[in-house]
Amino acid sequence: MATDRRDFLINGGRALLVASASAAVALEHVLAGTPEHAPGYTMSEHWWAMTIDIDRCIGCGNCVRACKAENDVPREPFFFRTWVERYHLTADDVDRPVVDSPNGGFEGFKELYRPGDGSKNFYVPKLCNHCAHSPCVQVCPVGATFESPDGVVLVDTTYCLGCRYCVQACPYGCRFIDPRTHTVDKCTLCYHRITQGLTTACCEVCPTDARVLGDLKNPSDPIHAFLREHTIHVLKPQMATGAKVYYADLDGSVR
């Protein structure tokens, strides 16, 4: 009986040792798995969104350049985490806008339309809408893309199969396959920055404050006043995606 207990303790001790050693190894990976190891940041205390004031955007392309530089986005013209579109509407066909986005607006826009020619012209910055009911997250076969508890749609590139179903499912064209990694890439809302208390790269460099990051869970965030005081639209509301990029004074012709 005594020997049994002794054996039990010895074996139990060994098992405990192995278990704690593996837990120690695992801990590193668990920590590495948290999107950003940011002390003092609690995901459940935030719910991120962005506001875009159409009337303020001047189409300078600062946001596109800053995003590509900050997030190492491939420079070729088919890969954008954010881009800017120019809309041109004439009075005789308000339903069929003429839209262009040369290189995503990376170099800004050459003047095409003369002021006072009777047309309506404006810029529309685009990025991932960080939908609360993301169709892209729904279709991922392995759950490599997910909505974080603070409302950001992220991708685990070490898990992504590169099947491209999410690219098809996004109604806004916000995703692309990174030709270097063969996995999907998209706007992370500069998660590495916002979890450190900074704003996104695109908002940081916007000279007119057309784009502003907001935290809907923070009662003192100016986003609440902005949403209250402007006419707000989201893109393609009929898709019911719960988009969280809120446009002020968005024209109905924008898709």
Partner 1 sequence: MGVDTTLLSQVEGFMYPNEVELQWSVLIVLYPFITGLVAGAFILASLERVFKVEEVRPTYRLSLLTALAFLLVAPLPLQLHLGHPERSFEMYLTPHTTSAMAMFGFVYLWYLMVVLIVEIWLDYRRDIVLQARSQTGFLRWIYRAMALGSDNISPRSLAIDDRVGRFITIVGIPSAFLLHGYVGFIFGSVKANPWWSTPLMPVVFLFSAMVSGIALVLLLYMLVSWVRRTAIDMRCLDTVARYLFYAFVIDFSLEMLDLVHRIYVADESFKSLDFMVKTRLFGSQIVVQIILGTLLPLGLLALTQLTRLSDRARKSLYATAGVLTMVGIFAMRWNVVIGGQLFSKTFLGYTVYKMGFATREGLLPAILLMVLPFVILAALIRLLPPWPEPAAQRESG
**Binding residues for partner 1 (CB under 8 A):** 74, 76-80, 83, 85, 96-101, 103-104, 126, 135, 137-143, 159-165, 167-177, 179-183, 239, 255
Dihedral (Cα; 205, 51, 144, 241), 10-degree rounding: -160
240 contacts 133 by C-beta, under 8 angstroms: yes
Pick the closer one to partner 1 by CB: 104 or 214.
104
Q: How far is the CB of 18 from partner 1 (least distance, A)?
A: 24
Burial class from Cβ neighbours inside 10 Å (0-12, 13-18, 19+) for residue 88 reads middle
Question: Per DSSP, what are the bridge partners of residue 51?
Answer: 212, 246
User: Closer to partner 1 at the Cβ: 58 or 135?
Assistant: 135
Return the number of the residue (10 or 112) whose C-beta is nearest partner 1. 112
Q: How far is the CB of 169 from partner 1 (least distance, A)?
A: 6
Q: Please state the closest distance from residue 87 (CB atom) to partner 1, in A.
A: 10
CB closer to partner 1 out of 128 and 152: 128
CA 221 to CA 228: how far, in whole Å? Answer: 12
Q: Calculate the dihedral angle through the C-alpha atoms of 56, 62, 64, 67, rounding to the nearest 10 degrees.
A: -120
What's the min distance (Å) between Cβ of 139 and partner 1?
Answer: 5
